[in-house]
Chains A and B, each alone.
Chain A
Amino acid sequence: MPSSNPAHPPAEAPAPSSDPPKLTGPELKKAKQAEKAARRAQAVLEKGQPPPAAPRTSTAQNAEGGKAAKGQQQRRVSNAAAPIKNMPIRSQKAQPVVEEPAVEDKTVEVYRHLRKPRTTGLAGANKDVHSAVLALGLQMSDYTICGSSARLVATLQAFKKVIQSYTTPPGNTLTRHFTSHVLSPQIEYLSSCRPLSISMGNAIRWLKLEISKVDIDTPDHEAKNGLCDAIDNFIRERVTLAGRVIAGSAAEKIRHGDVILTFAKSSVVQRALVQAHESGKRFSVISVDDRPLHEGKHLKDALINLGMDVTYCPSAAMSESMKRATKVLLGAHAMMSNGRLYSRAGTAKVGMEANTANVPVLVLCETIKFTERAVLDSIPHNEIPPADELALFGGATENWRDIKGLQLCDPLYDVTPADFIQMIVTESGRVPPTSVPVLHRLGNESQV
């Protein structure tokens, strides 16, 4: 990768001066790809997560023709080598690709407006997409990087690399050229891998504004360093420090003997629990989650390793566990301006049962996740992952595609009514749901 070393090579060969031989365009591309593939493989090994998915929807892949098919084969080979439990089914899915006549619409009518083919490979990616972004896109599409905050940070880090490897072409300025010609394809690619999170949307809006503020007379390297510093600051302030403040604030609310119920896995909730535990409070945790992501299992394992008392509870039995819970801590994907919580599907039901059982619900949410959007239910705005993911995780519906009239649908998010939420813990304080639009204006729009 080109370093941040301010080099001024001609635009045709943007190789950094530190590289000894000058490479031609195609060679450079090849080298980049090889490097990226290696990095990906390493990331996969480190994480122990499923590697970039084999094709899930055949219809989406058909359109991309021979090139896509080749990509699939390559990936399948690499998958076979990796000892991943979920892979066999996925690769089986890939086989009927060719002969499928694609007559029956398998998408659920209610969510048909959200249908969007998902990019699960490198094939068809815009050539301007930076390798770091390509890798990130794949990690997002297979949920290796899954949470809203994690995706936000990873995206900004990748954009930093994009900025660092950028050189303004002659006759242009960074301010005018970068956003439209370089940043846009990156964003487009990321959103084709998985719809952007609300926090990513907020951050991208902020970044574009920062870029537009750069004086056109600033030398390239200075502008780039300035932007990178700004990104670092942004991450530190809006995510790292915010998370720390929220965790501390929520940990204060945890008392001796509490039974904390939490749904799925939120990094801030986890930090709050750990912090309360480390401050010597004795309490137990009920970790609830649901198919297909089973995020609660990761949380449960992490907390058990710290010696905390944890009960793992599948989503169906949640109302049973609620009977002995004393507080509910929830993470958020986003807070809507009408005070509703937009979070992992199943959260609303937790809120409802908590409300029925008179257990207070605390939402832990950084203000970067606040949005001006207002929603009433989970249908107009949601994310529908490819249906095969639902069949994949041990369902009885492995060959569901063969059954006419059968559809699988697994909305990723749902909307919890504000009535179920007693308190939102943010870095700007503990507020009721009605204060969301105010904090959004103070926190997000004042910067913009």
Chain B
Amino acid sequence: MPYLDTFLKALKTRPLEWSIENLISGLKRRQIRTTMSCVIATAELLIVVIARSKMRSAEELLIEIQEVGQRLIEAKEMVVGNIVRRFLRMIRDEADEDRNDDVRDSNFAASYAVTKGTPLQNSLFDLFSASNPPQPTDTGRSSPQDQSNINADAEALQAEAVDAGQEILDEVKQSESNIAGYAPEHILPNETILTHCHNRIVQRFLLKAAEKSKFSVIVIESHPNELNGSDDVDAAAFLKSLADAGLTVISTTDGGSWAMMPKVDRVVLAARAVGSNGGCLVSVGGPSVAGVAKFHGKPVIVLCGVHMISSADQIELESMIEHGSPESIVGNTGGLPPNHDVETILQQYLPPHRINLYITNLGGYAPSYLYRLVSDQYSSKDSNPRL
């Protein structure tokens, strides 16, 4: 990821506005392509936004993040919106925590208990309290002492938010190895695993399982290779790494998936973006493979980091689908006659009924449960497509 490296280097030295524009153009031009590098770049940028912010309250910080986030989201990368919403939620939580601390300090109400993953706001009251954060009951706020209090609070919040942002970033960075860690549970010796395209997470997943047991992998090589997803590694490298790990690797075509399926034990796919309804976007051809598996009664496992799960539904997911160039399919397209069309779709929507299990960095979940993960991760206040 050379683009990511230069971006991160420049982020430290260049003005913030320059970095934002740089990332937006990088996303739009698909110079920064893999989900992981999109996530890292966004998270690093947002941390810098927080660190350099001159805000005086959590609300101001939220607005700042929302403004930057909105511009990034317009670059049409689902996972970027997820990260922005994670940050918004995180800042809300930090602000609530501070406020609750204050409340607790004043009236010793020690009922507050935050555990990871449980939604914080549970009452209508929260809806109001979050929109006007610092002590709405205060009337005299012009005294210089109050002013310095607010400044101190803001600084504390800023520091906490940067730390929490760093935590999100770390979680995302570790997600792939966490997902791979579940592999030995799901792949047993002498099984036959079928996968589609050459996804990096799938590669790590299978290699992790290969440490424990030996099995066969059938790889559907989608035609043409250029159409494969942006999270894919080079096909030859993918096949070689699995073969070198001592696995039997069988490469076949899309057409071969039906003929091979009776001998397959499990199908492993990787998602590009996941919706709260349990459906997801996968590389083109993936839904058909999952359909064939379902017809033959074989379980379909989809790998994804929780940062890929969003509140989007099928229509929003499908609006994210990219199209490639017809040149990679029919060769030189200089003289395509007007009555000649080429289907160049790059991703497809995989409906939840063709999926048996999602394996995320937090564990395995049925597609029907994903909406809970969504409500755990994001605040309902940020659920609009536009921030």
Q: Are A311 and B342 in contact (CB under 8 A)?
A: yes
Set of chain B residues within 8 Å of A314, measured between Cβ atoms: 222-224, 227, 254, 329, 343
Interface residues of A in 364-405 (CB under 8 A from B): 377-379, 382, 390, 394-398, 400, 403-405
B253 touches A290 (CB 8 A): yes
Chain A contact residues: over half helix, strand or loop, or mixed?
Answer: mixed
Does B24 have its Cβ within 8 Å of any Cβ on chain A? no
Q: A414: which of B221, B250, B255 is its contact (CB, 8 Å)?
A: B255
C-alpha gap A135/B382 in the complex (Å):
71
CA distance A415 to B259 in the complex (A): 7
Q: Are B223 and A297 in contact, CB atoms less than 8 angstroms apart?
A: no
List, in ascending order, chain B residues with CB within 8 A of A311's CB. Answer: 340-343
B363 within 8 A of A: no
Whether B253 lies near A410 (C-beta < 8 A) is yes
Are A405 and B248 also in contact (CB < 8 A) when A110-B260, A310-B340 are? yes
Contact B253 A345 (CB under 8 A): yes
A304, A314, A400, most chain B CB atoms within 10 A: A314
Whether, in the assembled complex, B25 has its beta carbon less than 8 Å from a beta carbon of chain A, the answer is no
Within residues 327 to 360 of chain A, which ones have a CB less than 8 A from any CB in chain B?
A: 344-349, 352-353, 356
**Judging by beta carbons under 8 Å apart, are B253 and A292 in contact?**
yes
Q: How far is the CA of A22 from the CA of B56 in the complex (A)?
A: 110
**Residue picked from B248, B249, B253, B255, most chain A C-beta under 10 Å:** B255
Q: When A312-B329, A395-B225, A406-B251 are in contact, do A319 and B348 touch as well, CB less than 8 Å?
A: yes
Task: Give a binary string over A152-183; 1 marks a CB under 8 Å from any B CB, 0 the rest.
Answer: 00000000000000000000000000000000
| B: interface residue count bin | 35 or more
- Which residues of B331-374 are within 8 A (CB) of A? 337, 339-345, 348
Contact between A349 and B258 (Cβ–Cβ < 8 Å)? Answer: yes
Cα separation A318 to B235 with both chains bound (whole Å): 22
Interchain CA distance A276-B255 in the complex, whole Å:
29
| A413: nearest chain-B partner, CB-CB | B259
Taking CB atoms, residues of chain B closer than 8 Å to A304 are: 337, 339-340
Query: Are B249 and A407 neighbours in the complex by a CB distance under 8 Å?
Result: yes
Which residues does chain A contribute within 8 Å of B251, judged by CB atoms?
Answer: 390, 395, 397, 400, 406-409
Q: Contact at B252–A409, with CB atoms within 8 Å?
A: yes
Q: Which of B42-50, B281-289, B307-315 contacts its partner? A: B281-289
Assuming the contacts A379-B263, A406-B251, asked whether A395 and B235 have C-beta atoms less than 8 A apart, the reply is yes
Partner of A318, one of B227, B240, B248, B288: B288
B234 in contact (CB, < 8 A): yes
B119 within 8 A of partner (CB): no
Residues of B within 8 Å of A145, CB to CB, are none
Please measure, in the bound complex, the distance between the C-alpha atom of A290 and the C-alpha atom of B287, giving whole angstroms.
Answer: 16
Q: Whole-angstrom distance between the alpha carbons of A309 and B254 in the complex?
A: 25
**Docked-complex contact A345 and B340, CB < 8 angstroms:** no
Measured between beta carbons, the chain B residues less than 8 angstroms from A410 are 252-253, 255-256
Residue of B nearest to A300 (CB): B340
Asked if residues B223 and A291 are in contact (CB atoms below 8 Å), the reply is yes
In Å, the complex CA distance between A410 and B260 comes to 10
Q: Which of A390, A405, A411 has the most CB of B within 10 A?
A: A405
B189 within 8 A of A: no
Interface presence of B385 (CB below 8 A): no
Distance from A417 Cβ to chain B, minimum over Cβ atoms (Å)? 8
Q: Is B124 an interface residue when CB atoms closer than 8 A count as contact?
A: no
Closest-by-CB residue of A relative to B220 is A316
Given contacts A349-B292, A405-B247, A408-B252, contact A321 B262 (CB under 8 A): no
Taking the complex as formed, is B114 at the interface, i.e. its CB lies under 8 A from any CB of chain A? no
Evaluate contact between B262 and A379: CB separation under 8 angstroms. Answer: yes
Task: Assess whether B291 is interfacial by the CB under 8 Å rule.
Answer: yes
Q: Which residue of B lies closest to A420 (CB)?
A: B295
| Residues of chain B contacted by A316 (CB below 8 angstroms) | 222-223, 227, 254, 283-285, 288
B330 CB-CB contact with A under 8 Å: yes
Q: How far is the CA of A436 from the CA of B70 in the complex (A)?
A: 61
Does A81 interact with chain B (Cβ within 8 Å)? Answer: no
Q: Is B236 an interface residue (CB 8 A)?
A: yes
Q: Is the CB of A397 within 8 A of B343?
A: no
Interface pair A356/B258, CB less than 8 Å apart: no
**B residues in contact (CB < 8 Å) with A:** 221-225, 227, 234-236, 239-240, 242-244, 246-260, 262-263, 283-285, 287-288, 291-292, 295, 329-330, 337, 339-345, 348
8 contacts between A and B (CB under 8 A): A110-B260, A304-B337, A311-B341, A312-B330, A320-B284, A396-B236, A409-B252, A414-B259
Question: What are the 9 tightest A-B residue pairs by CB atom distance, in nearest-first order?
Answer: A316-B285, A346-B255, A396-B235, A345-B255, A313-B343, A405-B243, A378-B259, A311-B341, A348-B258
